[in-house]
Amino acid sequence: MTATQPLELLAPLSGVLLALDQVPDPVFASRMIGDGLCIDPTSQTLCAPLTGVVSNIQNTGHAVSITDDNGVQVLMHIGLDTVNLAGKGFTRLVEEGQRVEAGEPLIEFDADYVALNARSLLTLMLVVSGEPFTLLANGAVDIGQPLLQVSPGEPIEAASEEEGDALFSKPLSLPNANGLHARPAAVFAQAAKGFNASIYLHKQTQSANAKSLVAIMALQTVQGDILQVSAAGEEAEAAIKALVELLAQGCGEPVAATVAVVESVVSATVLRGVCASPGSACGHVVQVAEPELSIPEKGAGEAVERAALARALRAATEALQTLQAKAVGSAQAEIFRAHQELLEDPTLLEHAHGLLAAGKSAAFSWHSATAATVKLFQGLGNALIAERAADLADVGQRVLKLILEIEDRAWDLPERAILIAEQLTPSQTASLDTGKVLGFVTVGGGATSHVAILARALGLPAICGVPVQVLALVNGKHVLLDADKGELHLEPNQAEIEQLKAARQQQAQRQQRDVAQAALPAITRDGHHIEVTANVASLQEVEQSLTLGGEGVGLLRSEFLYLDRNRAPSPEEQASTYTAIARALGAERNLVVRTLDVGGDKPLAYVPMEAETNPFLGLRGIRLCLERPELLREQFRAILASAGLARLHIMLPMVSLLSELHLARRILEEEALALGVGELPKLGIMIEVPSAALMADVFAPHVDFFSIGTNDLTQYTLAMDRDHPRLASQADSFHPAVLRLIATTVKAAHAHGKWVGVCGALASEALAVPVLIGLGVDELSVSVPLIPTIKATVRELDLVDCQSIARQVLGLEEAAQVREALRGFHAATVETSSVLEN
Ligand code: PEP
Ligand code: MG
């Protein structure tokens, strides 16, 4: 098929045709959005006028665009000002990215409701890609009847991308009440077309070609979205200035007081994200992107295609097994085992087989099945599920390449590469040549993603959640990655480089010394013992913690033992895991097993949960377990199997009400009685919700211990999502509000003779150790590799000094002040200890 064959567009509705000039709306009538026609509808289901892909469907359901294989793009807009209806009266029948046949229903609408509540029901069909057309009908038309004949000229060549670094505007907040819907988007795109520059509009991690109306609409912007304009080329600066002003003024729509137009051009020298894996490196930018694959839709017969899919799945399984064998016992192995499970997922396979039966190719069927699930995962608004989407996309791509027989060649990388990518997949990360790659920077991803876990396992510094402008950096540019601070320096000077090198050397020396002394107890110089235990998620980590001087396990995140399973582990399997961990620790060491903390950011595939609007405030942790007591009973039984092998403690997560503790204790007592376990394990709760901290005096008589989960306590106290890339620097556990809650908790616990630990990430920060000790915390449960550092830090301190700095920081105003005070304290302490040592 060539691009020059004429294309007939079918009537998307029945009704009466009108010329665009008759539309009472200057933007449509002037053809600024595109030429086409208007229908006064008599039917209520909008159907596709051509075969193609749904390139955009507005969340409000009032507008949809279809793009065919030759790039002909048709926008349909139901009614005028219908964006104001905010979706009421419209039902979307298709998803963005879905392929549709001409005549297929796209949107249903309630004509009465729309006519009564919007300015007009007149519906527009516009050829926004600009091809010429001739009219095939007039007057009354029936749905499906040919309406226009479009002559697609030669495919319009994509405007050549301008070379060189792009300039970026400062972020600005979108003032339009209904976001950039069709009309303001058209005004913006029209203005952008006037500049000799390649221009993009950015919203968080998404970017749209600013000259494409549909691309802008696909950003689905809403009022208050933070946007940036970037431009490269001759008129870049002028374009940014004009377009930022246009955005601030509402792109032709009246907006409340013009937002302060921000300084138009930024030439940031530091880009910030969050630390995914610590460390630092100096190297050269290498932009990496996955090539687009061409996927044939039609198959060569069901049996042939079925066999092709089966072959590819088998080959992928073998490849994953090899990767697991290479990484046995490590985090990588676990991740690839999870990928292998995805290959067997019955829902995915059922979806793919359905398409094979409909005559589609193996590649098309598999790709559609995985892509639909990836999209579903991404749309749930849950950071952890979105990260699992990245895993699925990765497996999907692996199988797809096998079907298409595309060889996965390793990237040809120069030495000292700092990789820059929209997103890396776990497979790409695991196969990085660490001889050449010094670190990486991604726009997507989060500190809890599998990619972050792999980067840590490989010892590669990495940051994620970096602004999209990083994708505009030219290859070969010399940059400095300071992952500890979450920063990428674009213009590093020699002094900064030297400073970083020296700091790295010092850190390495100190680390060596701390590891050598890891077996020494953590006793302050004035004789106060702090128990330093480990946060673990596997037997392997428990064993590693013991070699690094860990004094027990302060937090076993039991939900991580089986996070990537599709099927629940059997009771015997659970019991044998806990028993093996308890045995490794021995009868003299604490083992604190936290019961399943599922929900919120941690879904478990085998515990089906309903989607929640606000999962962090929903059925999480103990709440979910009490809703499904069988789950809790089974876990209690499995944990109790290890009674006597270690000093067993059970800890309940996310407790916010005293009644939750009472209910859980009753269940534990019943299960212990049934199993004939005479001595109950110690029972404690996590303090990670402000209500529990504030009522610690009420909880204390009923528990054996508290352990403070500063990760959640911070997010709930400051009302800031713990995985939000843009809030990462403010959601700081050093905030005095969090520290005051820790103080309240410790005071209440000690008044009742109970001990208090901290198992959130704050305990793993050497800077926080003095304040935690000063507040009276008895145990620090830390991430395994940091055990030697935290123990060494304790040994440098005096309890009385810690008490005094703790009192002081509780009175400060914000986290930054606390950090500064603690840095001052640290400098003074280290000086004193080195004087004493000499
Ligand atoms: C915490 O919230 O601090 C904690 C230790 O629990 P998790 O990070 O597993 O939610
Ligand atoms: Mg928590």
Q: Tell me the pLDDT tens digit for each residue of 57-87.
A: 988 899 999 999 888 999 999 999 898 888 8
pLDDT at site 575: 96
Give the atom of ligand 1 at the shortest distance from the alpha carbon of 601: 10
246-26-212-60 Cα dihedral, nearest 10 degrees:
90
Q: Within 10 A of 418 (CB to CB), how many other CB atoms are there?
A: 24
Ligand nearest to the CA of 723: 1
CA distances from 296 to 303, 315, 363, 375, 404 (A): 16, 21, 7, 21, 9
Per-residue pLDDT reduced to its tens digit, 272-294: 888 888 889 999 999 887 666 77
The Å distance, Cα 821 to ligand 2 centre, comes to 27
Strands of 430-576, DSSP E: 437-442, 462-464, 478-482, 487-489, 531-536, 552-557
pLDDT at site 169: 81
- Residue type for 754, please? K
Q: Indicate if the alpha-carbon torsion angle 212, 215, 217, 220 is positive or negative.
A: negative
Between CA 597 and CA 600, with CA 599 as vertex, the angle to 5 degrees is 105
Ligand 1 atom 4: the closest Cα is on which residue? Answer: 709
pTM above 0.75, yes or no: no
- DSSP-derived secondary structure letter, 83: G
* Per-residue confidence band for 263, with pLDDT thresholds at 50, 70 and 90: very low
Question: Is the predicted pLDDT of residue 330 greater than 80, yes or no?
Answer: no
Ligand nearest to the CA of 781: 1
Tell me what the pLDDT averaged over the chain comes to.
87
**Is the CB of 595 inside a 6 Å radius of any atom of ligand 1?**
no
* Per-residue confidence band for 387, with pLDDT thresholds at 50, 70 and 90: low
Q: Within 10 A of 541 (CB to CB), how many other CB atoms are there?
A: 22
**Is the CB of 597 inside a 6 Å radius of any atom of ligand 1?**
yes
* Per-residue confidence band for 413, with pLDDT thresholds at 50, 70 and 90: confident
- Residue type for 118, please? A
Residue 237 or residue 292, greater confidence: 237
Question: Is the predicted pLDDT of residue 399 greater than 70, yes or no?
Answer: yes
Token pair belonging to 580? 């093996």
Least confident of 24-38, 99-113, 719-733, 739-753: 719-733
Give the atom of ligand 1 at the shortest distance from the alpha carbon of 707: 5
The Å distance, Cα 618 to ligand 2 centre, comes to 14
* Per-residue confidence band for 835, with pLDDT thresholds at 50, 70 and 90: very low
Q: Indicate if the alpha-carbon torsion angle 421, 225, 711, 381 is positive or negative.
A: negative
Give the atom of ligand 1 at the shortest distance from the alpha carbon of 535: 5
Residue 583 or residue 202, greater confidence: 583
Q: Which of 202, 450, 489, 735 is catalytic?
A: 450
Average pLDDT over every residue of 361-368: 93
The Å distance, Cα 667 to ligand 2 centre, comes to 22
Per-residue pLDDT reduced to its tens digit, 691-742: 999 999 999 999 999 999 998 999 999 999 876 656 766 888 999 999 999 9
Token pair belonging to 359? 């005559």
**Is the CB of 688 inside a 6 Å radius of any atom of ligand 1?**
yes
Token pair belonging to 415? 């030495």
Q: What percent of the chain has pLDDT over 70?
A: 90
pLDDT at site 836: 46
Mark the residues whose beta carbon lies below 5 A from ion ligand 2: 688, 709, 712
Q: Which of 47, 282, 759, 802 is catalytic?
A: 759
Per-residue pLDDT reduced to its tens digit, 453-463: 778 777 789 99
Per-residue pLDDT reduced to its tens digit, 122-140: 999 999 888 889 999 988 9
Q: What share of the chain is helix, strand, coil (3-state, %, to 5)?
A: 40, 20, 40
Give the separation between CA 536 and CA 92, rounded to whole angstroms: 46
Give the separation between CA 536 and CA 584, rounded to whole angstroms: 13
Least confident of 150-159, 208-217, 487-496: 150-159
**Is the CB of 760 inside a 6 Å radius of any atom of ligand 1?**
yes
Ligand 1 atom 10: the closest Cα is on which residue? Answer: 712
pLDDT at site 36: 93
Give the separation between CA 644 and CA 601, rounded to whole angstroms: 33
Give the separation between CA 581 and CA 597, rounded to whole angstroms: 19
pLDDT at site 264: 32
pLDDT at site 2: 43
Question: Is the predicted pLDDT of residue 595 greater than 80, yes or no?
Answer: yes
Least confident of 133-142, 233-242, 258-267, 303-312: 258-267
351 is catalytic: no
pLDDT at site 791: 98
Ligand nearest to the CA of 654: 2
450 is catalytic: yes
Least confident of 42-56, 208-222, 252-266: 252-266
Question: Is the predicted pLDDT of residue 331 greater than 90, yes or no?
Answer: no
Give the separation between CA 67 and CA 821, rounded to whole angstroms: 58
Ligand 1 atom 3: the closest Cα is on which residue? Answer: 709
**Is the CB of 711 inside a 6 Å radius of any atom of ligand 1?**
yes
CB 546 within 8 A of CB 817: no
Residue 160 or residue 677, greater confidence: 677
**Is the CB of 46 inside a 6 Å radius of any atom of ligand 1?**
no
Question: Is the predicted pLDDT of residue 90 greater than 90, yes or no?
Answer: yes
Give the separation between CA 124 and CA 186, rounded to whole angstroms: 14
Per-residue pLDDT reduced to its tens digit, 171-224: 777 888 888 988 888 889 888 989 999 999 988 767 888 988 888 888 888 887
Least confident of 197-201, 378-382, 567-571, 787-791: 378-382
Ligand 1 atom 9: the closest Cα is on which residue? Answer: 557
**Ligand 1 pocket test target in 535, 557, 561 with most atoms within 8 Å of CB:** 557
* Per-residue confidence band for 525, with pLDDT thresholds at 50, 70 and 90: very high
Give me the count of residues in the chain: 838
The Å distance, Cα 603 to ligand 1 centre, comes to 14
